[in-house]
Amino acid sequence: MHVPRPTRRPAIREAALDLAAIGGNHAVTHQAVDRHLSLPRGSTSYYFRTRDALISAAAGHLVERSRAAFAEQMSDEAVRARPGDLIADYLDDLLTTRRRDALARHGLLQDPSVLPDTREKLARCFFSVDAATDLMRDRACDDAGAAADVFITVLEGIVFTYTYGVRRDHGRVRGELAEQLRPLVVAALRITDASGR
């Protein structure tokens, strides 16, 4: 595969996520990315000098992808008015179309040597604390911050269960999970109503 120079940086970030999804953090090396993209040896280290820089770039790419996916869903005003539907649909997308991203994030987080700022990016890349807090304010929770923390914790549990836990299924296609996830999201919103009052 020929990767033109102007597109190498984004291609390298994508390749790092591919490798992390398949083999975890230790699979992400400069040489492995070069091989994955059929780049000349040393190409990845030219763009990202250290392994920490490479992992940080991959984490930043996950944040960008998640924000773009959520912004696309938020553009539908009818769906935005129904947070349970919106979040169930977002989870459906994350667990099917973007399943690689969920696997890569977990793979990258498993290594304790990941730098604290990169770890923080990874920990927050799928769910925005600010957006969750705004949602809880809209629901008139007394302590919107605490309710948002509870809500995100439940959503993270759903992601883990459907990625690695008892409900994992590699063959799902986009649209299959939203109906199944909606009651879980609605129940999580009820929990936050109780916890935030």
Cα separations in angstroms, 11 against 3, 23, 27, 98, 163 = 8, 18, 16, 17, 24
Q: pLDDT per residue over 52-68, tens digit each?
A: 999 999 999 998 988 88
Helix (H, G, I), strand (E, B) or coil at 170: coil
Q: Does residue 170 surpass a pLDDT of 80? A: no
Query: Mean pLDDT, to the nearest integer, of 1-16?
Result: 81
Helix (H, G, I), strand (E, B) or coil at 171: coil
pLDDT-derived band of residue 196, with 50, 70 and 90 as boundaries? Answer: very low
134 against 118, higher pLDDT: 118
How deeply is 124 buried, as exposed, middle or buried, from its count of CB atoms within 10 A (0-12, 13-18, 19+)?
A: middle
Q: Does residue 7 surpass a pLDDT of 90? A: no
pLDDT at site 70: 81
Please provide residue 82's backbone torsions phi and psi, each rounded to the nearest 5 degrees.
-120, 85
Q: Does residue 23 surpass a pLDDT of 60? A: yes
Q: What is the pTM of this model?
A: 0.85
Q: Dihedral sign, CA of 118, 127, 63, 89?
A: positive
Q: 134-143, 164-173, 180-189: which has the highest mean pLDDT?
A: 180-189
pLDDT at site 79: 59
Q: pLDDT per residue over 27-43, tens digit each?
A: 999 999 999 999 999 99
139 against 151, higher pLDDT: 151
Helix (H, G, I), strand (E, B) or coil at 151: helix
